[in-house]
């Protein structure tokens, strides 16, 4: 495919030169024009042919290149998905076999929990986009904007982008609303201003906290910080990264250190067995001392008279 695109690009660059050769009667094209007596017609419309040839060549190359890249991208995704489904378990098993023992079991737990986190994030994001699309469709239908379903679908797709997705959708839907009527445009814009605040501060924290098993405050803070530090890519990866970080903390940090627990008070058995934490069982005065002390007392006692 790449050589074909390069050849088309070279042809588009040489099109003006070929046209000049044809006007001069040189080359294969010039010979054909001389044979069929078309040279005068070409000379009369040379500027138009040259302009059309350049535009047609560039547009053709761009169209072919975009088509080829799109088809190649789809095929690549399909092949990768197939290989991951077929070879993924084998690769995972081989990798875990290298670790062995308890380490392999820990890695398996981390992998499964991380996969559930990513799946939950994608499901939650799709649910939020579906809510946005349905709400947009209702508003557009009530205001009488034509093609409400198509516009709502575009808004739902744009809403997959965290934080700024609703803004991009508002531009599309608001433009369609103003094309219909100024009143409809104002209503649509007001709706999106309110909805974006609700989505960013209510829907996304609540839905993502249930989908990824994170605290709603953690979801909101992680998205805001990641968007500030990493931009759009940071906002996109913030929630799954926070979920995986929580999994690693639970796996590698002991529970008593996470909870900040204090030593438990002595139970009844401890109180019955000894007078304190440093006093061994059986040394309590009520028990009569240890066995060694009792035997030493027997040795010190004088023998009985016969």
What are the tokens at 198? 């609700």
DSSP assigned state of 241: H
Q: Where are the domains of the chain?
A: 2-95, 102-255
Contact 152, 134 (CB under 8 A): yes
Using CA atoms, how far apart are residues 134 and 194, in angstroms rounded to an integer? Answer: 15
Long-range contacts of 175-179 (CB under 8 A, 24+ apart): 176/140, 176/145, 176/146, 176/147, 176/151, 177/140, 177/143, 177/145
DSSP assigned state of 286: G
Per-residue confidence in pLDDT tens, the chain, 306 aa: 555 556 656 666 666 676 666 666 666 666 666 666 566 666 666 666 666 655 655 666 666 666 777 777 778 878 887 777 777 777 777 777 777 777 888 888 888 888 888 888 888 889 999 999 999 999 999 999 988 999 999 999 988 877 677 788 899 999 999 988 899 999 999 999 999 888 888 888 888 888 888 887 888 788 788 877 877 778 778 888 888 888 888 888 876 665 554 444 444 444 444 444 444 444 444 444 444 444 444 545 555 544
Taking every pair of C-alpha atoms in the chain, what is the biggest distance, in angstroms?
Answer: 158
The model's pTM = 0.55
């Amino acid at each position: 495919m790449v050589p074909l695109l390069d050849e088309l690009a070279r042809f588009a660059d040489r099109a003006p030169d070929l046209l000049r050769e044809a006007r001069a009667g040189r080359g294969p094209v010039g010979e054909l024009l001389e044979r069929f007596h078309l040279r005068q017609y070409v000379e009369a419309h040379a500027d138009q042919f040259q302009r059309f040839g350049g535009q047609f060549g560039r547009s053709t190359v761009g169209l072919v290149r975009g088509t080829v890249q799109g088809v190649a991208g789809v095929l690549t995704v399909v092949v990768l998905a197939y290989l991951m489904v077929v070879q993924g378990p084998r690769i995972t098993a081989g990798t875990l076999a290298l670790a062995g023992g308890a380490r392999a079991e820990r890695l398996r737990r981390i992998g499964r929990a991380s996969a559930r986190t990513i799946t939950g994030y994608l499901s939650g994001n799709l649910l939020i986009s579906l809510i946005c699309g349905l709400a947009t469709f209702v508003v557009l239908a009530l205001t009488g904007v034509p093609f409400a379903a198509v516009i709502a679908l575009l808004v739902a797709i744009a809403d997959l982008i965290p934080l700024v997705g609703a803004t991009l959708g508002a531009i599309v839907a608001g433009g369609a609303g103003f094309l219909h009527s100024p009143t409809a445009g104002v209503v649509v814009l007001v709706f999106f201003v309110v909805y974006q605040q609700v989505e960013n501060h209510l829907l996304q924290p609540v839905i993502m906290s249930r989908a990824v098993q994170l605290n709603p405050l953690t979801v909101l803070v992680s998205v805001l910080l990641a968007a500030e530090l990493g931009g759009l890519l940071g906002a996109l990866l913030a929630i799954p990264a926070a979920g995986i970080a929580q999994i690693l903390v639970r796996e590698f940090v002991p529970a008593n250190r996470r909870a900040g627990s204090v030593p438990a008070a002595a139970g009844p058995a401890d109180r019955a067995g000894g007078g304190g934490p440093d006093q061994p069982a059986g040394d309590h005065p009520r028990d009569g001392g240890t066995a060694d002390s009792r035997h030493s007392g027997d040795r010190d006692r004088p023998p009985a008279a016969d």
